[in-house]
Amino acid sequence: MPELPEVEIVKRSLKNNIENKKIKKVIIKNRNLRFKIHKKFENILKGKFIINVQRFSKYIILTLDNNSYCLIHLGMSGTLHILNNNKKKVITNLSFYHSPNLPKKHNHVHIIFDKFKIIYNDPRRFGFLKLIETPNKLRGFFSNYGPEPFDETFNISYLKSKLNYKSKNIKNYLLDQKFVSGIGNIYASEILFNSKINPQRSSGHLTQEDYKNIIFFSKKVLNNSIKKGGSTIQNFKNTKGYSGSFQKEFKVYDRENEKCLKKNCKGIIKKIVISNRSTFFCDLCQK
């Protein structure tokens, strides 16, 4: 599943291409995604201008000119492709998984503009496109989500109020979207490594220094990944066809039995499973 940095790259790609553009037509090839596409989806979007493209957590938010919204979630395998009417692009993929070219199958939604179209492809159909009618309903949709790591409310007071006296391990908290929005499995392991915190640590036993490190490295790791264009686990390419390169900087993820990269640390990277997710950490420097 694409995590926050990859979705941010997709958002920026879309923003460059579709903001302030008018939707001429929408064609639905398959409504049966994670949530069935609304029966009036085509008619509601037709003729609307996209006045803003935003992201919250792992969601892309298209703001339409009638103050309604279209949410896009890529699920496990969703990709967005841009096709120009006048020329064939070798690279069409704006997203994270699969081929950089438009696949022949599973092209479920076509959003057509004047000189190009955006196609939503999703082999596993865990993603979705959802209409939200008003700003209040949009706020309601995200009301159970925690702040993003970049939000000023993700601070020591917030962590203390949520984690004090809690027995659940800190890795599970970082993956809990009700606690903090947008962090996925890869980045949780990297954040905890940089913070020198064992992923199995009880959240109630964290110190104020631990809180500071979690806040600092959540921002740093995610920002670094965005700058590097996302992580290529399965051939992510951005709008220009360049692969994300953050995976080259993994300190622990997918490095089982390799030496710790921290200076003067003689630890070995271990792999364990926490809540059915692979988790990587140094057996020596993460306490």
What's the whole-number mean pLDDT along residues 250-271? 95
Domain boundary residue, one of 94, 109, 141: 141
Clarify whether residues 54 and 109 are in a common domain: yes
Residue 116 belongs to some domain of the structure: yes
Domain boundary residue, one of 117, 141, 165: 141
Clarify whether residues 135 and 8 are in a common domain: yes
Clarify whether residues 132 and 55 are in a common domain: yes
Q: The whole model's pTM is what?
A: 0.89
Domain boundary residue, one of 80, 114, 141: 141
Clarify whether residues 215 and 266 are in a common domain: yes
Clarify whether residues 187 and 129 are in a common domain: no
Q: Which residues pair with 173 in a beta bridge?
A: none
- Give the number of other Cβ atoms within 10 Å of residue 83's Cβ: 15
**Helices marked H in 19-63:** 41-45
What's the whole-number mean pLDDT along residues 75-96? 81
Q: What is the DSSP letter of 92?
A: -
15-20-23 Cα angle (round to 5)? 100
What's the whole-number mean pLDDT along residues 242-266? 81
Clarify whether residues 133 and 261 are in a common domain: no
Kindly report the backbone phi and psi dihedral angles of residue 5, in degrees, each rounded to the nearest multiple of 5, phi listed first: -60, -40
The CATH number of whichever domain residue 116 belongs to comes to 3.20.190.10
Tokens 């599970």 -> residue = 172
Residue 247: band (very low, low, confident or very high) from pLDDT cuts 50, 70, 90: low
Clarify whether residues 98 and 223 are in a common domain: no
2 classed as catalytic: yes
Clarify whether residues 20 and 73 are in a common domain: yes
- Active-site residue, from 89, 125, 201, 277: 277
Clarify whether residues 269 and 176 are in a common domain: yes
Clarify whether residues 36 and 95 are in a common domain: yes
The total domain count for the chain is 2
58 classed as catalytic: yes
- Active-site residue, from 55, 58, 228, 237: 58
- Active-site residue, from 2, 5, 100, 199: 2
Reported as a single tens digit per residue, the pLDDT across 111-127 is 999 999 999 999 999 99
45 lies in which domain range? 4-141
Clarify whether residues 38 and 99 are in a common domain: yes
The CATH number of whichever domain residue 166 belongs to comes to 1.10.8.50
Reported as a single tens digit per residue, the pLDDT across 151-199 is 999 999 999 999 999 999 999 999 999 999 999 999 999 999 999 999 9
Q: Is the pLDDT assigned to residue 90 strictly greater than 80?
A: no
